[in-house]
A = this chain, B = another copy of it.
Amino acid sequence: MEKGKYHHGDLKNALIQAGSEILAKEGVGSLSLRKVAGRAGVSHSAPYAHFTDKQALIAAISTEGFRLLYERLQATSDANRADPARMLSEVAYAYLSFALDAPASFKVMFSGVLEQEKAYPEFVAMSKKNFLLLVELVELCQAAGLLKAGDPGQLAVSVWSLVHGFTALLLERQIPGTIRDRAELSVLLCQALNLITLRDVPVPGKS
């Protein structure tokens, strides 16, 4: 961990961290093995002691992205257990916020940069974990009469599609009209959510 050491101690995680930082500061186009190694302060061939190739490193960086997303969604969902309607809108807003805060990470996770994701079990597991959180959320909303009855998994796909689509289109600047700030955004997101809920949902982002 200390500087100046020949052996790094935790290079694997340092590389994942460095990758996320490069994404945040320079974008997806700059995510190369050599830059990641450089940012972690090691030679450009050092990563091969921990990852078989570039794809494996990208898989790890994406997995970390899903882990961070899960943390956010989980925290948001836990904080709103008492009120399913608020829980739904806040979790949706947390998803959107994650994408706005770390757009390049979001793109790596969802824009096919990782090619053979099925080959990386940890990636699959972490992405599934997020989906299961959503399914659980949907079940709670169903029990509260906020979402109509039916297969929760299937309903979760629909809810996710709505929120993900809104987020993706927004990131790609495909949504027409001017959006001044996040408050306005949360209203728009809310209006979309209200299309699929049986009762209106509170505008998120107050806390």
Contact = CB atoms under 8 A, between A and B. Distances in A.
A158 B117 contact: no
A121 to B, nearest CB: 15
Nearest to A192: B158
B28 A154 contact: no
Given A161-B166, A169-B161, A154 B191 contact: yes
B177 A153 contact: yes
Interface of A is mostly: helix
Interface string A171-190: 11111110000000000100
Given A165-B162, A166-B165, A112 B171 contact: yes
Interface residues of A, number: 38
A153 B164 CA distance: 19
B158 A169 contact: no
B157 A175 contact: yes
B195 A195 contact: yes
A44 B161 CA distance: 41
A130 to B, nearest CB: 9
Interface of A: 28, 107, 110-112, 117-118, 127-128, 131, 148, 153-155, 157-158, 160-169, 171-177, 188, 191-192, 195-196
